Structure 1
Amino acid sequence: MAELLDLDAEVMEAYLSGVGAWIDELAADQPPRRILDLGSGTGTGTFTLLRRFERADAIALDVSASMLRHLRNRARVLGLADRVRTVQADLDDAAWPAVDAVDLVWASSSLHHMADPDRVLTEVFATLRPGGLLVVAEMESFPRFLPDDLGLGRPGLEARCHAALNGARDTALPHLGSDWGSRLSRAGFTIEAERPFAINLTPPLPASAGRYAEATLRRIRLHLDGRMSADDLATLDALIDSDGTGSVLRRDDLTVRTARTVWAARRP
């Protein structure tokens, strides 16, 4: 998962830069000095925002100790270690971790993992200083990479993978695709903007895009046994076989297609 998150940050650099610039505009009157990255993973949001706001420091909060170790190592490599503090916490627990008041909270693809996101949003509201900004980014689905005509005698392999995955995910992630604007309003926030970001990267792509496609498809494959035909699974297995001739690493027709929506909400 750490590899996938790092590749996502590398491949989606233009998207992240665009979101960072947009946040900079929204925070122009009050540049943040303390940032909370909620569900930080390997630090994609932490490092994007610290580069954008050079006088800020950040609290990276995540449930995973290994992710936070990875984040601290990256911070040292990037020369940002003195501006980052990590906090390990399971936000599904009753107790909100002890963190200082912050000016900006970044929550990217993390709220839909929470058992009770409404309670978490209430805690975020209390943690933000008055006038502080919460930025929520959510994806519609995993990115798509493959040509639509791919499939052993039956085009549309990737579409079938996503359809099967959606069926499995409805139970595991019931809050994915929520009306986050309404939830933010109920928690007391004032919605300043809702902005869709369409991502469509076309060939030629850097080698990292192939690794990103492989890591994403490999993760999807974990959930597809018994949900797709043997032929489809065999084709998918060939695509994620790094050493095979049919590997996505050897294709020159990959794209990266996805959409993410970002909400900016302020504590009055």
Structure 2
Amino acid sequence: MPHDHQHHDQHQHDQRGDGRQGGHHRHPGHGHGHDHTDIDWVAMAPLLEAQAELYTPLYQRAAAWLAQEVTEPGLVVDAGSGPGVVSCVFADAFPGARVVAVDGAGPLLERARDRADRLGAADRFTTLTGELPDVLENLDYPADLLWASQSLHHLGDQRAGLAGFARALAPGGTLAILEGGLPARFLPRDIGIGRPGLHARLDAANEDVFAEMRADLPGSVSETEDWPALLSAAGLKPAGTRSFLLDLPAPLSDRARAYVAENLSRLRERATGRLDAGDLATLDRLLDPEDPAGIHRRPDVFVLVAHTVYTAIRPT
């Protein structure tokens, strides 16, 4: 997907991540080096935006941390931007910077431009359409900060992807990749229906789905996910690692509850054939709007997730 920052419902949004940004398609997401033609991004865009907006507090904290690490960047690039929610967070965090949202899905970038216009950042906001990492060669000048949220794991050869990201940096520029963290949690271990521990079994099913997604990518290469080591191999100097928490306690807003329901619905699709009949029946009850034990009605639904950001600097 594109940046799903939630194009992804990426790993949690992918469903290990959050999709495109948000994401964390992003999309959970994310111009990711694979074919976008079989997905209706126009139809997907409102969902991707809603998810990224829900996660905005997390992205704002990440941007604030990066603003302490990267002083007055001239160009900030969001590689795998999806509909641009996080791109606009960076436009706000770096008011003196030009921001370029990069993605493989043109309709999502249209929404990114519209969002920047609504937020008053259109005069320093542009977009670039194409597949990562090669499209970065078309930047007008190198990036002082390049942000890639759960877009790297949609590239078959992640080492080559990181090398492409590194080439797009100015000397002294910073690469920040959001990969990994902790799977999202929405419910207690024992929810009063079905067998306790449903979330853990969903996580296991998702890991299998994620591994299959990676294996099916063109030019897929298995990598040990030691991100600082991979950043070093790309010729960069690892600079820091920090995790950011999204903690939305019960009772949830209607918007957050709708996100959880959509997320579990996708999990239910992916889990068919990987969970036993009892767990599938429990998911069906959770997704039934009329069931008092379902996501739409139960009072104990929450959102708790951690995303990890790794930074590295291109030597001068």
Q: TM-score, normalised by structure 1?
A: 0.89
The 2-side partners of 1:263 and 1:108 are apart by: 10
User: How far is the alpha carbon of 1:39 from its aligned partner?
Assistant: 0.7
Listed as ranges, the matches of 1:170-189 within 5 Å are: 170-173=211-214, 178-189=225-236
8 Å CA contact 2:194–2:278 kept in 1: the answer is no
8 Å CA contact 1:144–1:255 kept in 2: the answer is yes
1:99 alignment counterpart: 139
The 2-side partners of 1:106 and 1:67 are apart by: 17
2:151 alignment counterpart: 110
Secondary structure of the 2:261 match is helix
Letter of the aligned partner of 1:264 in structure 2?
Answer: T
1:120 aligns to 2:161 (yes or no): yes
Select the residue among 272, 275, 282 that pairs with 1:235: 282
User: How far is the alpha carbon of 1:232 from its aligned partner?
Assistant: 1.6
The 2-side partners of 1:4 and 1:166 are apart by: 23
Secondary structure of the 2:310 match is strand
Letter of the aligned partner of 1:11 in structure 2?
Answer: L
User: Which is worse superposed, 61-70 or 97-106?
Assistant: 61-70
The 1-side partners of 2:257 and 2:177 are apart by: 28
1:18 alignment counterpart: 61
Select the residue among 140, 162, 181 that pairs with 2:203: 162
8 Å CA contact 2:136–2:165 kept in 1: the answer is no
1:62 alignment counterpart: 103
Task: Give the number of equivalent residue pairs.
Answer: 265
Q: Percent identity?
A: 37
2:178 alignment counterpart: 137
Letter of the aligned partner of 1:103 in structure 2?
Answer: D
1:262 aligns to 2:309 (yes or no): yes
1:211 alignment counterpart: 258
2:237 alignment counterpart: 190
2:91 alignment counterpart: 50
1:87 aligns to 2:123 (yes or no): no
User: How far is the alpha carbon of 1:3 from its aligned partner?
Assistant: 4.1
1:72 aligns to 2:113 (yes or no): yes
Higher relative contact order (CA 8 A, sep 6+): 1
Q: TM-score, normalised by structure 2?
A: 0.76
The 2-side partners of 1:177 and 1:40 are apart by: 25
User: How far is the alpha carbon of 1:266 from its aligned partner?
Assistant: 0.8
Alpha-carbon RMSD across the aligned residues, in angstroms, is 2.3
8 Å CA contact 2:183–2:306 kept in 1: the answer is no
Q: CA offsets, 1:223-268, max 9 Å, x none?
A: 1111112232122123234465444132221121222111111111
Q: 1:56 to 1:25 in 2, by over 3 A?
A: same
Secondary structure of the 2:184 match is coil
The 1-side partners of 2:285 and 2:105 are apart by: 31
Letter of the aligned partner of 1:191 in structure 2?
Answer: P
The 2-side partners of 1:141 and 1:211 are apart by: 21
Q: 1:153 to 1:239 in 2, by over 3 A?
A: closer
Return 5+ residue gaps in structure 2 as ranges.
Answer: 1-24, 26-44, 216-221
